[in-house]
Amino acid sequence: MSQQKTWSDRFESALNPAIAIFNASIGFDIELLEYDLTGSIAHAKMLGSTKIITDTEAQQLVSGLEQIRTEYRQGNFNPGVEAEDVHFAVEQRLIEIVGDVGKKLHTARSRNDQVGTDIRLYLRAEIRQIQQHLRRFQAALLSHSQNHVETLIPGYTHLQRAQPISLAHHLLAYFQMSQRDWERLNDVYQRTNISPLGCGALAGTTFPIDRQYTADLLGFDRVYENSLDGVSDRDFAIEFLCAASLIMVHLSRLSEEMILWASQEFSFITLKDTCATGSSIMPQKKNPDIPELVRGKTGRVFGHLQALLVIMKGLPLAYNKDLQEDKEGIFDGVKTVKACLEAMTILLEEGIEFKTTRLAEAVAEDFSNATDVADYLASKDVPFREAYNLVGKVVKTSLAAGKLLKDLTLDEWQQLHPAFESDIYEAIAPKQVVSARNSYGGTGFEQVHQAIARAKSIIDL
Question: Does 245 help bind ligand ARG (rule: CB under 6 A)?
Answer: no
**Which x/- pattern over 18-47 shows residues binding ligand ARG (rule: CB under 6 A)?**
-------x---x------------------
Query: What part of residues 78-137 is at the interface with ligand ARG (CB under 6 A)?
Result: 85, 87, 111-112, 115
CB of 32 to ligand ARG, least distance (A): 9
Residue 345's contacts (CB-CB under 8 Å, 6 or more residues apart) are 133, 136, 137, 140
CB of residue 74 to ligand ARG, shortest distance in Å: 25
Residue 149 to residue 6: CA distance in whole angstroms: 68
The answer to whether residue 319 forms part of the interface with ligand ARG (CB under 6 A) is yes
How many other C-beta atoms are found inside a 10 Å radius of the C-beta of residue 330? Answer: 22
Select the residue interacting with ligand ARG from 321, 357, 440, 460 (CB under 6 A). 321
Q: Residue 162: enclosing H or E segment and its boundaries? A: strand 160-166
Q: For residues 314 and 195, give the distance between their C-alpha atoms in angstroms, rounded to a whole number.
A: 24
For ligand ARG (CB under 6 A), the number of binding residues is: 11
Q: Given the residues 2, 63, 263, 279, select the one marked as catalytic.
A: 279
Q: Which stretch binds ligand ARG (CB under 6 A): 132-140, 153-161, 275-283, 321-329?
A: 321-329
- Identify the helix (H) or strand (E) that includes residue 154: strand 152-157
Q: Are 15 and 4 in contact (CB under 8 A)?
A: yes
How far apart CA 357 and CA 362 sit, in angstroms, is 9
Does residue 146 sit in helix, strand or coil? Answer: helix
Shortest approach of ligand ARG to residue 96 CB, angstroms?
20
From the list 70-78, 138-146, 299-307, 319-327, the region that binds ligand ARG by CB under 6 A is 319-327
Contact 34, 333 (CB under 8 A): no
**Residue 166 pairs with which residues in a beta bridge?**
152
Q: What's the start-to-end Cα distance of the chain, in Å? A: 53
Beta bridge pairs of residue 277? 287
- Interface with ligand ARG by CB under 6 A: which range of 296-304, 318-326, 351-359, 428-436? 318-326
The SS3 of residue 349 is: helix
Q: What are phi and psi of 169, to 5 degrees?
A: -60, -40
Whole-angstrom distance, CA of residue 344 vs CA of residue 377: 44
User: Pattern of binders to ligand ARG over 322-361, x per CB under 6 A?
Assistant: -xx-------------------------------------
In one-letter notation, the amino acid at residue 57 is E
Q: Tell me the helices (H) and strands (E) count for the chain, helix number first.
A: 19, 6
Q: Closest separation between CB of residue 231 and ligand ARG, Å? A: 9
439 tagged catalytic: no
User: Which residue type, as a one-letter code, is found at position 260?
Assistant: L
* CB 29, min distance to ligand ARG, A: 6
In the complex, minimum distance from the CB of residue 95 to ligand ARG, in angstroms, rounded to a whole number: 18
Q: Which of 158, 280, 439, 457 is catalytic?
A: 158
Only segment of 317-325, 342-350, 356-364, 371-379 that touches ligand ARG (CB under 6 A): 317-325
Closer to ligand ARG by Cβ: residue 48 or 116 = 116
Tell me whether residue 158 is one of the annotated catalytic residues. Answer: yes
Which positions touch ligand ARG (CB under 6 A)? 25, 29, 85, 87, 111-112, 115, 319, 321, 323-324
Catalytic annotation, residues: 158, 279
